[in-house]
Structure 1
């Protein structure tokens, strides 16, 4: 059995929920349809002509990429132009394209955590907060016979986390009353007669990211034909998600040694380095993509070095004067997402017992050559 398109994307959005993206980021389905079976998925950093040819070779129905193929609203689709030809080839071969960008950067166990792990950075937090998770209160009334089953279902789906405590809930005994209407098939009582049932009121906290999952688990476990429950927003802060990561290294390194660690950890042949190569590095920051505007934030967080791409000349000069080193492995260092995303997706598909195959793009989309 092959997974439907919407099922694949629901897995992807468990890893990188859309609400974690920065405002106006171009994410989500950008081309094609998800209303089909997905036999093969290709995970890529960028979508260019070579990647599309690769997708055709592996018979991909869907490309999941990090960088958008449509950045601005299209005024025309001219197939005489490079972008138009690319879109035309994708459409003719029925290949959908889904983008997970800053939401994947921000996500817990996403891009920036992968990069930090690869560099031996023991993350203490992000460089810039992007999103604070909303919390909801779930209240559901359950017959005593099914109290534990429903409670286990909602807590198992991710409800009940308060700080470092899990499985938090409050349970109150009481009585529920109802009159089943004509045509109903009630779990308790008879149509047209008042029923008075011993019930338990379950209350628990539900984080925004698992809200739908918790509700579905509750409805599946609950025996009633019509479930009485409330789900409302509470004025409490959940987890905070952000861009970049900062933390101490597992062991102190010289800038030269750490630059080599970056090359090996991120699988890049060359890096640009700003700073004294013999200085000691104890704490580092990392941010995938373009991180010029995060130099001061990294300095404020106590980092000795910032690892990020697309550093310009004047930013490098400012960093030298400020006393923070920079290692620039290039924007393409984000290619670490290909194997990591594929690993995540394979596990979810295996758990769902789907036969859908996941392929990692082998195309090198680095546009620069170093002579």
Structure 2
């Protein structure tokens, strides 16, 4: 086992929740710290507050992974008589890096909204609103017949060849390759200065743009040739769908009043309010962690009986009532805080895969802003 670096955690988070998925206005990525610094303990949180930083110091964490950005608006000054200034000062004093994954983690598979759907035990879950489709490429490589299986296995294990739920999808065409090894070459087959004809396989498959480099590297490592002939073609076919929010069905229907109480309990919401007929039967549920009312019409269009989100405004609630969509406002914090444990689970798994020693802690600091009377 070896110690992880900040750059390793950045890579793991970006593999899980690619920055390209983030909304244009968002601020994600490393906001404080040195990518080359070592990390042995990491704290996962929703917000970077003074109390969260104090918790990180007390628990010996040298990196924080947060959902909400510490630095969102550009800083005009860095004053230590402000909360933001004190936070940054303490982070730098104790060598604590801060990494942010926000709307990209909302959209990512297994991210904020999938975790929210799991908390509410939704079934047959799908995306509420499509935001992106992964760009696909056609990858073609020419391999001697005897080594084709080895190369095929290597590129598919690196992520090539997925079509829907089918893996290792390739097409293989036999043919003859020709080449003349020139001075200074060390050919796997043939001799310098002589035309060589080799029975080869044209191996072609689908690769996601995000895995292009990884797959090419796997191919070059597995391929026997000194110089590998391969092609990449852009495709018009849309790849894997990514989107905001989730929609699914309850294991069994219940009234809106019962579902609201159950949601409050499942999300440990300190303040929950709802719009709609208490006796309405609820079966199909849309969810969107944080402030999600911009997608209320999409929830209605897809047949949701109720939309669970946070930060619902008065007139947004009226609009939902007009369109006969029940809405549960469980609070911004309560709909997102469950991602802390998932971040720890995901980073621990990826760290173990790469034989790194890293301890991940879900923050116990309550960053809920609102209080009740």
- 1:183 Cα deviation after fit: 4.1
Structure 2 residues not aligned, in runs of 5+? none
Q: Distance in 2 between matches of 1:31 and 1:186?
A: 49
Structure 1 residues not aligned, in runs of 5+? none
Q: Distance in 1 between matches of 2:182 and 2:94?
A: 52
Question: Bigger shift: 359-368 or 185-194?
Answer: 185-194
- 1:193 Cα deviation after fit: 4.5
What TM-score results when the alignment is normalised by the length of structure 1? 0.94
Is 1:286 the equivalent of 2:248?
no
Contact conserved, 2:107 with 2:113, CA < 8 A, in 1? yes
Structure 1 residue matching 2:113: 3-state secondary structure: helix
- 1:322 Cα deviation after fit: 2.1
Structure 2 residue matching 1:295: 3-state secondary structure: helix
Structure 1 residue matching 2:356: 3-state secondary structure: coil
Structure-1 residue corresponding to 2:28: 27
Q: Distance in 2 between matches of 1:109 and 1:148?
A: 33
Q: Superposed, which structure 2 residues align to 1:263-282 within 5 Å?
A: 263-282=264-283
Of 354, 361, 364 in structure 2, the residue corresponding to residue 362 of structure 1 is 364
Structure 1 residue matching 2:43: 3-state secondary structure: strand
Contact conserved, 1:187 with 1:224, CA < 8 A, in 2? yes
- 1:84-138 per-residue CA deviation (whole Å, 9 max, x = no partner) reads 2211211222211111111111111211111111112224432221111111111
Q: Distance in 1 between matches of 2:198 and 2:96?
A: 54
Structure-2 residue corresponding to 1:13: 14
Q: Distance in 2 between matches of 1:229 and 1:91?
A: 47
Q: Superposed, which structure 2 residues align to 1:229-248 within 5 Å?
A: 229-248=230-249
Q: Distance in 1 between matches of 2:324 and 2:230?
A: 57
Structure-2 residue corresponding to 1:332: 333
Is 1:353 the equivalent of 2:355?
yes
- What is the aligned-residue RMSD (CA, Å)? 1.8
Q: Distance in 1 between matches of 2:192 and 2:362?
A: 57
Question: Bigger shift: 251-260 or 334-343?
Answer: 251-260
- 1:286-326 per-residue CA deviation (whole Å, 9 max, x = no partner) reads 00010122222211111111100000111112222221111
Contact conserved, 2:117 with 2:125, CA < 8 A, in 1? no
Structure 1 residue matching 2:150: 3-state secondary structure: helix
Matched pairs, number: 371
Structure 2 residue matching 1:2: 3-state secondary structure: strand
What TM-score results when the alignment is normalised by the length of structure 2? 0.94
- 1:192 Cα deviation after fit: 4.8
Is 1:203 the equivalent of 2:204?
yes
Q: Superposed, which structure 2 residues align to 1:7-156 within 5 Å?
A: 7-156=8-157
- Distance 1:20-1:196 versus aligned 2 partners, 3 A rule: same
Q: Distance in 2 between matches of 1:42 and 1:239?
A: 31
Q: Distance in 1 between matches of 2:259 and 2:315?
A: 23
Structure 1 residue matching 2:307: 3-state secondary structure: strand
